Amino acid sequence: MAHIKQTIGNVEIFVIHDAEIALPVTRSFPDVPVEAWAPYQERFPEAFSGADSMRVHFECYLVRSQGQTILVDTGLGSSNTNPGTVINVGGGTEGELLSHLQSAGFQASDIDTVFLTHLHPDHVGWNVTRSDAGESVTFPKARYVGNQADWDAFDTPKDSEVFGYDWWADTMTPLKRLGVLELVTGETQLTSEITAIPTPGHTPGSMSLAITSAGEKAFIMGDVFHGPAQVTESDWVFHYDVDPDLAVQTRNRMLDRIEAENAAMAVCHHSGFGRVIRVEGRRYWQAM
Ligand SMILES: [Zn+2]
Ligand SMILES: [Zn+2]
């Protein structure tokens, strides 16, 4: 499988595909009438799999900067690492992160830092591996960086019920038990080229990576956007946004910044990098 690779100054970024599903647009965006999607289905056919169905990717990003190898999110996971995942989120889909990591030329042991944009189940699926010997971290040399506000929000039995299974016990509490979890607040530098920045709304502790190298800029943004249409329709609310108003504010703030800085952008549920362009005054996603 060909791997998308993007270079931002001296930083190398590989898109590592974990999984893909088809989801009805009316389930992802219950307040948006189905006919409002038509112009985006025409403009971005690759993002849809039918008249009312969007292709939802589960992508991870491997970032190399200044000798550090950073994995952004760990995807949907598999029934081995996370027994509930394939049934409840992925509709029977098994994540393929590890084999795609390998075919891109990397091993799990190459990862220095696992950066978790937020702590929803489809972004932490491969955190932990289970075998007869017990549970262990899937990326044995990595520290795992997550956000304190997401930890505080989801570390309750109630929130496991939202997704129908206890992803938290499967994928997050083991990190704490094994002593590899680092919870951060505010801006946090990962290398001098890469900074984690707060982009809350989708979840309270959602973070993005701001990458600046040799005069070039990019943002990897987790679930600030769910597909290219939201670059134009930034007030469309995604079903799982925890604080929809704040999510809209964050989306608009990031669009202003990406446009002003002429930055590249990537998200987790649509594949590849894009830029923000203007057509007749409106913003649109343009794939790079
Ligand atoms: Zn999410
Ligand atoms: Zn997600």
For residue 156, what are the contacts with CB-CB under 8 A and spacing of at least 6?
Answer: none
Instruction: Give ion ligand 1 contacts, CB < 5 A.
Output: 120, 223
Quick one: which of 202, 125, 204 has its CA closest to 168? Answer: 125
CA of 272 to the centre of ligand 1 (A): 18
Q: What is the CATH number of the domain that holds 164?
A: 3.60.15.10
Q: Phi and psi (nearest 5°) for 93?
A: -85, 135
The two beta strands, 143-147 and 181-184, are parallel
- The first and second tokens of residue 173, run together, are 């509490």
Domain that holds residue 283: 5-287
- The first and second tokens of residue 142, run together, are 């990595």
Q: Which ligand is nearest to the CA of 58?
A: 2
CA of 98 to the centre of ligand 2 (A): 18
d(CA 98, CA 106): 9
CA of 122 to the centre of ligand 1 (A): 7
Query: How many structural domains compose the chain?
Result: 1
CA of 195 to the centre of ligand 1 (A): 20
CA of 118 to the centre of ligand 2 (A): 8
pLDDT digit string (tens) for the chain, length 288 residues: 456 899 999 999 999 999 999 999 999 999 999 999 999 999 999 999 988 899 999 999 999 999 999 999 999 888 777 666 665 565 667 889 999 999 999 999 999 999 999 999 999 999 999 888 888 999 999 999 999 999 999 998 666 666 767 788 889 999 999 999 999 999 999 999 999 999 999 999 999 999 999 999 999 999 999 999 999 999 999 999 999 999 999 999 999 999 999 999 999 999 889 999 999 999 999 999
CA of 224 to the centre of ligand 2 (A): 9
CA of 280 to the centre of ligand 2 (A): 31
CA of 118 to the centre of ligand 1 (A): 7
CA of 120 to the centre of ligand 1 (A): 5
Q: Which ligand is nearest to the CA of 269?
A: 2
The amino acid sitting at 220 is: I
d(CA 198, CA 187): 7
CA of 268 to the centre of ligand 2 (A): 7
Cβ distance 129 to 140 under 8 Å? no
- The first and second tokens of residue 43, run together, are 């403009």
Local structure of residue 158 (DSSP, 8 states): H
Which residues make beta-bridge pairs with 58?
A: 19
The whole-number pLDDT of residue 161 equals: 67
CA of 99 to the centre of ligand 2 (A): 21
